Amino acid sequence: MIRASDLFGGLDDQQYATLESISVPVEFAQGQQVMTQGHMCPGIYLVDKGLVRVFRVGLRGQQHVLHLCGPGQSFAEVAAFGNFALPASATAVQRTHCVLIPNDALQRELASNHELCRKMLSSMSLWVRHFVQMLDDIVLRDAMERVARLLCDVPCDSEGRLKLPGPKKDLANHLNLTSETFSRVLRRLNEQGVVDVDSDRTIRVLDSERLATIGDLAR
């Protein structure tokens, strides 16, 4: 899991071995709280199986889904590297297996291993770029563009079928849309012959070039 993670790409064997030696497997039941906003960060989580909903709670109790983390993805990286309180909460959408790199052990390694620290800074710059892109999507793109871009980011099988990476309500919230708007956009894409909505979460892409054009991926 650590070697396959984009977050830790480019490390050498010794650095991978160091992170592997301090990591521990953790498991969460469906609906179980993984971490709580405002609490100290327990470390970096790498998802092996399952799905985790990472969300921020506002002053009036409203929630915004920051991302849905599935296999191969990670979360709590920024708080772990910065060694500050968690800016978001997380719950397991389904039964989930993760690898946890505990923050206390990680901080000791970063303090003594300058090369590891340098490579982690490089990895974090990619995450900053990701969140700038996410902000750009929410502020500068309309509903159709946001949904099309999301669909373009989900891998398809050989027949063009893809499975939405989470419940529609969470995906809509992540894109700053209502569930009704999200469903309406899918219907429009279906009517235009761009996708074929097979079921609640399974979609077949009929025209990938048109979908990419709507998502304006070159922007």
Query: In this structure, what CATH number is given to the domain that contains residue 162?
Result: 1.10.10.10
* Cβ atoms 24, 99 nearer than 8 A: yes
152 located within any domain: yes
Q: What is the pLDDT of residue 97?
A: 97
Number of domains in the chain: 2
62 located within any domain: yes
Q: Rounded distance, CA 206 to CA 204, Å?
A: 6
The closest of 90, 106, 109 to 47, measured between CA atoms, is 90
Domain span at 170? 138-215
Query: In this structure, what CATH number is given to the domain that contains residue 54?
Result: 2.60.120.10
Question: At 27, is the secondary structure helix, strand, or coil?
Answer: strand
Amino acid at 215: G
pLDDT digit string (tens) for the chain, length 219 residues? 888 887 887 788 888 898 999 999 999 999 999 999 999 999 999 999 999 999 999 888 888 888 889 888 899 988 998 888 999 999 999 999 999 999 999 999 888 888 888 877 777 777 677 677 767 766 668 889 889 988 988 888 888 899 888 888 888 888 888 989 999 999 999 999 999 987 667 899 999 999 999 887 544
Residues 10 and 107 both lie in one domain: yes
Q: What is the pLDDT of residue 75?
A: 93
54 located within any domain: yes
Residues 7 and 52 both lie in one domain: yes
Residues 34 and 77 both lie in one domain: yes
SS3 content of the chain, % helix, strand, coil (to 5): 45, 25, 30
117 located within any domain: no
172 located within any domain: yes
Phi, psi at 217, each rounded to 5° = -70, -15
- How far does Cα 136 stand from its chain's mean position? 16
pTM for this structure?
0.76
